[in-house]
Amino acid sequence: MSAERAPEGAASDATETASGAVPKHIAIIMDGNGRWAARKGLPRVAGHREGAEAVRRTLKAAVKAGVECLTLYAFSSENWRRSEEEVTDLKGLMRFYLERELDEIAKEGVRLDFIGDPSAFGPELWKKLQAAREQTKDNDRLRLVVALNYGSRAEIAGAARRLAEEVQAGTRNLQDIDEASLDLALQSRGLPELDLLIRTSGEIRLSNFLLWQAAYAELLFVDTLWPDFGEEEFNAAIADFQGRQRRFGGR
């Protein structure tokens, strides 16, 4: 995310009123599927299924709003702690969603990408995900990044390891390890700076999501459960962002 980082060049004009500007990069912790299902007396999988519909609505809203990049937290590296049954259901839904939505996603000009380690979901799904990435790689209307088996600490540790290996191999000087080079070693390299991070379902924590990238993001926690999220909530989040004053440490 280094290319458009604000702080250094922003010294003389550190205060930025977001007003009017659509956030370039929005990330969402899509939480609350289980509680949505429980409230309706349904099994958890029904909440995840409805959550997939919310993804569909939100993606359309993001394209319409002119957002450049949307990063969705779909499965954390800690979610393996769930029952085998739930993990299997989630994998099945990912495959189903991909098969059903890929052509539509491609047609809308969406470029699909991933962070995390989705290869852990097995070769069949991993192959489909890679093919989807390949099929959409030239699209430039919106970049959809799905975090699959993602953990921010693992991402940062991996970046540190990569840089250390380069120093060891003699291809990088120790002095060259700084914020910019670490940023470029993360899986999020090349994405615009994160502007807005939303979490649904009323939980107020980051759960190991984009810890580095969120350094100066605006945070928004809403009570809506993810399956109830859609265009209206998405546009309300953008409006909330537009009312904030970003200072980046300035006055």
Among 1, 18, 29, 54, contact with ligand IPE (rule: CB under 6 A): 29
Structure tokens at 27: 């990330």
* Complex with ligand IPE: residue 71 or 136, whichever CB lies closer: 71
Q: What's at 51, amino acid-wise? A: G
Among 47, 45, 66, 160, CA closest to 108: 66
Task: State yes or no: residue 221 binds ligand IPE (CB under 6 A).
Answer: no
Task: State yes or no: residue 30 binds ligand IPE (CB under 6 A).
Answer: yes
Taking the complex as a whole, how short is the minimal distance between the CB of residue 44 and ligand IPE, in angstroms?
A: 6
- Burial-class residue 215 by CB neighbours within 10 Å (0-12, 13-18, 19+): middle
User: How far does Cα 246 stand from its chain's mean position?
Assistant: 21
Among 148, 139, 150, CA closest to 97: 148
**Which range in 74-82, 129-137, 183-191, 230-238 contacts ligand IPE by CB under 6 A?**
74-82
Considering CB distances under 5 to 8 angstroms, the limit depending on partner class, which of ligand IPE, Mg ion, none binds residue 74?
ligand IPE
**Number of neighbouring beta carbons within 10 Å of residue 35:** 17
Among 71, 76, 136, 213, contact with ligand IPE (rule: CB under 6 A): 76
**Number of neighbouring beta carbons within 10 Å of residue 152:** 25
Query: 31-60: which residues touch Mg ion (CB under 5 A)?
Result: 31
Contacting positions for Mg ion (CB under 5 A): 31
Active site residues: 31, 79
Contacting positions for ligand IPE (CB under 6 A): 29-35, 73-76, 79, 90, 201, 203, 205, 207, 226
